[in-house]
């Protein structure tokens, strides 16, 4: 018999950190880490979970389960940092709890963790890549292409995105 839903199955999630949001106090956030959202591979394809300042957007993407949507995404968004995560179900009660409702708290909920002192996207990134979390495994990291002094972004992209999109981590 075919299993339609397996609550214990591992989930394939791409957590994306970007600089594209401008809002009050966004200048205080680390460059490249002003907003975060997720792409999750589901049984019938991909879903984008994007909490913004004004609403919560969950979009089914027009791509099949086996489609590689990350390569085109990275080429269209070279300043994004992406974590490829494998997430197992957490059996801890993580929500509802008191705290801020933000892109970071929503991503924590999606990942099944509760870290009340993690409030910025960069803090979330650092916690995930530097701390062992039993239910989360970081499979791969794509680091954003950053502007170098005296060299425009377009020129850097043409010089080899593969080389700059290595598996090295931004400093935490």
pLDDT tens figures, 143-157: 877 665 444 444 333
DSSP 158: H
Which whole number is the average pLDDT over 4-12?
Answer: 76
Residue pair 96/83 in contact (Cβ under 8 Å)? The answer is: no
Residue pair 27/87 in contact (Cβ under 8 Å)? The answer is: no
What is the predicted pLDDT for the residue at 165? 45
Question: Residue ranges of the domains in the chain?
Answer: 11-164
Is residue 73 helix, strand or coil? helix
User: For 55-114, what is each residue's pLDDT tens digit?
Assistant: 888 888 888 877 788 888 888 988 899 999 999 987 776 666 677 788 999 999 999 998
Is residue 117 helix, strand or coil? coil
């Amino acid at each position: 018999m075919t299993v339609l839903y397996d609550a214990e199955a591992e989930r394939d999630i791409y957590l994306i950190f970007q600089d594209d949001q401008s809002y009050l106090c966004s200048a205080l956030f680390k460059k490249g880490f002003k907003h975060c959202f997720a792409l999750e591979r589901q049984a019938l394809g991909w879903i984008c979970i994007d909490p913004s300042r004004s609403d919560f957007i969950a979009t089914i993407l027009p791509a099949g389960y086996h489609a590689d949507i990350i390569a085109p995404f990275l080429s269209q968004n070279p300043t994004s940092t992406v974590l490829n995560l494998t997430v197992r179900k957490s059996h801890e009660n993580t929500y509802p709890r008191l705290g801020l409702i933000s892109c970071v708290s929503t991503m924590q909920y999606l990942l099944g963790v509760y870290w009340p002192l993690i409030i910025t996207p960069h803090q979330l990134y650092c916690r995930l890549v530097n701390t062992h979390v039993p239910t989360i495994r970081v499979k791969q990291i794509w680091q954003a292409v950053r502007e170098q002094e005296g060299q425009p972004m377009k020129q850097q992209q043409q010089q080899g995105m593969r080389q700059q999109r290595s598996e090295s981590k931004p400093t935490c």
